[in-house]
Amino acid sequence: MLEPLLAGTVPADVPADAIQLVQDLGLVRLDSQAGLVIANPIYAAIILRSLAATTRAFLPAITPA
């Protein structure tokens, strides 16, 4: 649910309780004009890093030539 928000797209088929959970955790807030948005720029950076961690773990190490 958080990944599409960061990408600026609409999440598909998100259960209402998942939305309520991220609101209760303070990760997102309901903006009167934009709808659900990440509540804090710092949260956006941390969430992005967390989502990328798995992908990064499977990439080979790059060493300078």
Per-residue pLDDT of the chain (65 residues; tens, 9 = 90+): 788 888 888 888 889 999 999 999 999 999 999 888 999 999 989 988 988 898 888 888 888 87
For residue 41, give the nearest of 56, 28, 22, 53 by alpha carbon. 28
Q: What is the C-alpha to C-alpha distance for residues 55 and 58, in angstroms, rounded to an integer?
A: 5
Q: What is the C-alpha to C-alpha distance for residues 56 and 40, in angstroms, rounded to an integer?
A: 24
Q: Per-domain residue ranges for the chain?
A: 2-53
pTM flag (> 0.75): no
What residue has token string 């609101």? 23
Structure tokens given for 46 = 């941390």
Q: What is the C-alpha to C-alpha distance for residues 53 and 9, in angstroms, rounded to an integer?
A: 21
